Chain A
Amino acid sequence: MEALTLLQWVFDSLLVLCLFWLAGRALASPDLFKAIVLFIAFGLLMALAWVRLDAPDVALAEAAIGAGLTGALLLAALARLKSMGDLYRDDSDCGETKGDDS
C-alpha cells in the first residue's frame, strides 16, 4: 500500500511537471505547427490529469474536444493562415518594390 501511494505521488509529480513543460513550450514555440502539436499533447496529458482527479467525464470531454477536435480546428486554421499569409506577402512585396522605385 505504501509503495502504491509513493508510486502515485511520483506519477502525479511527473504529470504536473510534464504539463507545465508542455504548456511553456507550446506558448514559447515560434513555429505554430509545433505549438499546435504540443498543445494536442498537452490536452492528452490533461485528460490523464482529470482521470487522476477522479473526473472521468471531464477526462472524456478533454480527450475528445480539447485534444482531438481543437487540434484539428487549429491545424485547419493554420493551413488557412498560411494561404492567407502568402497572399499578404505578395502584396507587401509589391509595396516594397514601389517604395524602392520612388
Chain B
Amino acid sequence: MTANGQTGKTFRLLLVLLLTVMAVGLGYAVLELHSSAGGLSKQVATNLEASGVSNPVTAVLLNFRGYDTLLEMAVLLVALIGVWSLGGIPDYRESSPGPVLDTLSRLLVPMLILVAGYLLWVGTHAPGGAFQAGSVLGAAGVLLLLSGWRLEKIFAGLPLRVILILGLGAFVTAGGGFLLIGNVFMEYPSALAGELILMVEAAATLSIGVTLAALFLGGRPEAGLDK
C-alpha cells in the first residue's frame, strides 16, 4: 500500500514537472511570436470579388481553402462509418416522450429546419454557413430521435446513404468537374462561383445534419431490404 502511494506520488511529481516544462515552452513560443504578423486577410479582401460570395469566412472555407472543408466532411463521414462498424442500435427501453417533450419537439423541429435554411442562405454575405446550418439540422434530428421518432425502414437503406454522401459528392463533383475545361482542382469559374457554392453548401448542410443525427443514434439503423 505504501509502495503504491510512493509510486503514485512520484508519478504525480513527474507529471507536474512535465506540465511545467510544457507550459514554459508554450509561453516562450507565444512570447517569441512576431507581434505584427500580417495574416492573409488583405489577400482575401482583394480577391473577395472573384469568390462569388461576400462573406470572407465563407469565401475562405468554400473557395480559397475548399480542400480543408472537403476533408472535414470526409472526416465526419469516416467517423460515422466507424460508429456504424461497431454494430447495430442497442435495444433501448422505449419510453414515451411525455407531453412536454412531445409538444416542444413538434413546435421546435419546424423552427429549427427554418433556422437551418436561414443560416445556409445568409452564409454568403454574413456569419453562417453549411456547418452551422448542418448542426442546427442535426439538433432537430436529435430532438426527433429523443421524442421517439425513428426512420422508416424503407428509407434506412440506400436513401439514407445517398443523403450521407450527398455533401461530399457534390463538393467533389463541383471541384473536379471543371478539371475537364482546364481549371485546377477546386477552382471555380468566378461567374458561376456564387451559385456553385450555394449548391455545395445546401448539399453539405443536408449531409452534415443527417450525419450528426445518425452519430447520435449511435449504430447502423436496420434497413428493410426485404421490402
Task: Let me know if B139 and A57 touch, CB within 8 A.
Answer: no
Q: Which segment of A19-27, A28-36, A72-80, A88-96 sits at the interface? A: A72-80
Task: Let me know if A56 and B127 touch, CB within 8 A.
Answer: yes
Cβ of B212: which chain A residues have Cβ within 8 Å of it?
A: 69
Contacts A73-B215, A73-B216 given; does A68 touch B131 at CB 8 Å:
no
Cβ of A65: which chain B residues have Cβ within 8 Å of it?
A: 131, 135
A60 within 8 A of B: yes
Task: Let me know if A61 and B215 touch, CB within 8 A.
Answer: no
Task: Let me know if A69 and B135 touch, CB within 8 A.
Answer: yes
Cβ of A56: which chain B residues have Cβ within 8 Å of it?
A: 127
Task: Let me know if B216 and A72 touch, CB within 8 A.
Answer: yes
How far is the CB of A72 from the nearest CB of chain B, in Å? 5
Q: Which of A57, A59, A68, A83 is B90 in contact with, Cβ under 8 Å?
A: A83
How far is the CB of A71 from the nearest CB of chain B, in Å? 10
CB closest chain-A residue, reference B136: A64
B129 within 8 A of A: yes
Task: Let me know if B131 and A80 touch, CB within 8 A.
Answer: no
Contacts A69-B142, A80-B90 given; does A60 touch B132 at CB 8 Å:
yes
Contacts A56-B127, A60-B127 given; does A69 touch B139 at CB 8 Å:
yes
Contacts A72-B216, A80-B90 given; does A57 touch B132 at CB 8 Å:
yes
Q: Which of A59, A61, A64, A83 is B139 in contact with, Cβ under 8 Å?
A: A64
CA–CA, A86 and B131, complex, Å: 37
B48 within 8 A of A: no
B167 within 8 A of A: no
CA–CA, A61 and B132, complex, Å: 5
Cβ of A69: which chain B residues have Cβ within 8 Å of it?
A: 135, 138-139, 142, 212, 216
Where the two chains meet, the residues of A that have a C-beta atom closer than 8 Å to any C-beta of B are 56-57, 59-61, 64-65, 68-69, 72-73, 76-77, 80, 83
Where the two chains meet, the residues of B that have a C-beta atom closer than 8 Å to any C-beta of A are 57, 90, 119, 127-129, 131-132, 135-136, 138-139, 142, 212, 215-216, 218
Q: What 8 A-B pairs come out closest when comparing CB atoms?
A: A64-B135, A56-B127, A60-B132, A57-B57, A57-B127, A65-B135, A72-B142, A69-B212
Beyond A64-B132, A64-B135, 5 additional contacts (C-beta under 8 Å) are: A59-B127, A61-B132, A64-B139, A65-B135, A83-B90
